[in-house]
Amino acid sequence: MPISEWVSRRVFQFVHGNNLVYNTCWEDPRLDRQTLNLTSQDRLLVITSAGCNALDYLLAGAGHVYAVDMNPRQNALLELKASAIRNLSYEQFFDMFGRGHLPMAESLYAAKLRENLSAQSRKYWDRWIKFFDHPKKSFYFRGTSGTFAHMVGNYINKVARCRGEINELIDASSLDTQRELYADLKEKVWSKTLQFAMNRDTTLSLLGVPKAQRKQIDDQYPGGIVKFVEDSIDTVFSKLPIQDNYFWRVYITGSYTPACCPEYLKPENFQKLRDGLLDQLTVRTDSVEGFLRKHQGTISRFVLLDHMDWLSDHYFPLLESEWQAILDRAAPNTRILWRSGGLRTDFLNDVTVTRNGKSYLLPELLTYHTDLASQLHQLDRVHTYGSFYIADLANA
């Protein structure tokens, strides 16, 4: 293994093995809702990330959601959200997860939130609930992805000196206005300094992009990772309406607004979750395969994010065994969603699985909805993934 690759992997493992990485989900659940067609009969497995979308799937009608993540800090965040929904007023909840700052966070945590957490999550928040206690540094500038967002904010404020123009852009009321404002801003923001930063593996590690995913983009996208990021940002700010793009608003400003926020932060949905929907949520710290091997029931919907990119390079046997576990626990008419940093997930063509005693290549058991996935991908408000996939699993 080349020394540069060894260093890159060690940095990535250090970042992800010791930190909260995602403080908010970077997958657009609007796309997922349009294809999952959730009903009360569905049992859905999703990789937790920051937990926003697990709550969204409950609101969309899933009968039960299993949020599974190998990083206990990600699950601790979802548990904290659930405890806050149950025990805080809506105003306090929006302060905490809408604005990223809860006055008297430490005392409210001790009095109202801590008791409802698992022992592992208590241990984490006993130390880090102070993330919410700083009036000038939002929770959304915490964790590794938040650290980079904070660095970008400092760059906007102190280097590019264009905070006013950026705020005007994200408040634009029409797509035409957006385009004009972005055209004026792009050269100032998209400088050689920022391009240099986006080309560094250390930066990408903070954002949760492993070496294998970066390699896919470099190999498949003309111009590599830097051009991919540039084109993605161009699309977000000049081709898609910004008014409801809460992903980029929170990244740029550190907070949501009542009019631009995830579904779980809206008052009527807060109440639905509080009134019983949260009882249909299970949070587990485990791998996807590990959870499925222990789970006794079947799963009809899987939302696998982009984690297969992570496994495809150095952990291919784990990728195969995970897919075998998915097949073994899949309900009839199962649908599976995933995303990739690359333009293709050709590595899945080599996955071998067994069903009813017979060996298959995975694509033989999947029916892809390529046109629908492509159409929805163009509307993705995040727009940092190279591709989006919808596949139905053949019934046994």
For residue range 285-334, list pLDDT tens digits in order. 999 999 999 999 999 999 999 999 988 877 899 999 999 999 999 999 99
Q: Is the separation of the CB atoms in 95 and 88 below 8 Å? A: no
- CA-to-CA distance for 344 and 326, rounded, in angstroms? 21
Rg (CA), the chain: 21
Q: Is the separation of the CB atoms in 273 and 264 below 8 Å? A: yes
Q: Is the separation of the CB atoms in 329 and 299 below 8 Å? A: yes
Q: How confident is the model at residue 17 (pLDDT cuts 50, 70, 90)?
A: low
Q: Which of 1-15, 226-240, 348-362 has the lowest mean pLDDT?
A: 1-15
Write b or e for each residue in 304-335: b if 16 or more Cβ atoms lie within 10 A of its Cβ, otherwise e. Answer: bbbbbbbbbbeeeeebbbbbbbbbebbbeebb
Q: Is the confidence at residue 343, as pLDDT, over 50? A: yes
CA dihedral 264, 269, 273, 275 (to 10 degrees): 160
Tokens of 74: 């990600």
- Give the distance, in angstroms, between the CA of residue 223 and the centroid of all CA atoms in the same chain: 25
Strand partners for 361:
352
Q: Which of 141-145, 198-202, 323-327 has the lowest mean pLDDT?
A: 198-202
Other beta carbons within 10 angstroms of residue 111's beta carbon come to 11
Eight-class DSSP state of 238? H
CATH of domain 3-101+262-393: 3.40.50.150
The pLDDT value given to residue 220: 84
- CA-to-CA distance for 388 and 339, rounded, in angstroms? 5
Vertex 288: Cα angle to 285 and 292 (nearest 5): 100
- CA-to-CA distance for 63 and 277, rounded, in angstroms? 9
Tokens of 248: 């980029």
- CA-to-CA distance for 187 and 349, rounded, in angstroms? 41
Site of tokens 């009809």: 300
Q: What is the mean pLDDT of residues 178-186?
A: 95
- Give the distance, in angstroms, between the CA of residue 304 and the centroid of all CA atoms in the same chain: 10
Vertex 247: Cα angle to 340 and 308 (nearest 5): 20
Site of tokens 């020394």: 3
Q: What is the DSSP string of 279-312?
A: GGEEEEES-HHHHHHH--S-EEEEE-TTHHHHHH
- CA-to-CA distance for 58 and 216, rounded, in angstroms? 33
Site of tokens 């760059």: 155
- Nearest CA to 113 out of 141, 142, 89 is that of 89
Tens digits of residue pLDDT in 47-63: 999 999 999 999 999 99
The pLDDT value given to residue 128: 98
Q: Is the separation of the CB atoms in 97 and 265 below 8 Å? A: yes
Tens digits of residue pLDDT in 22-44: 999 999 999 999 999 999 999 99
Q: How confident is the model at residue 169 (pLDDT cuts 50, 70, 90)?
A: very high
Tens digits of residue pLDDT in 260-287: 999 999 999 999 999 999 999 999 999 9
- Nearest CA to 42 out of 269, 331, 290 is that of 331
Residue 116, sorted as left (phi over 0), alpha (psi -120 to 50) or beta, turns out to be alpha
Sign, CA dihedral 329-65-383-13, equals negative
Phi, psi of 49, rounded to the nearest 5 degrees = 55, -120
The residue that leads in pLDDT, 178 or 197, is 178
Domain ranges, ordered by start, for the chain? 3-101+262-393, 140-253
**Percentage of residues in the chain having pLDDT higher than 90:** 79
Q: Is the confidence at residue 77, as pLDDT, over 60? A: yes
If 0-12 CB within 10 Å is exposed, 13-18 middle and 19+ buried, where does residue 296 land?
Answer: exposed
Tens digits of residue pLDDT in 104-137: 999 999 999 999 999 999 999 999 999 999 988 9
Indicate the pTM of the whole model.
0.93
Collapsed DSSP state (helix, strand, coil) of residue 337: strand
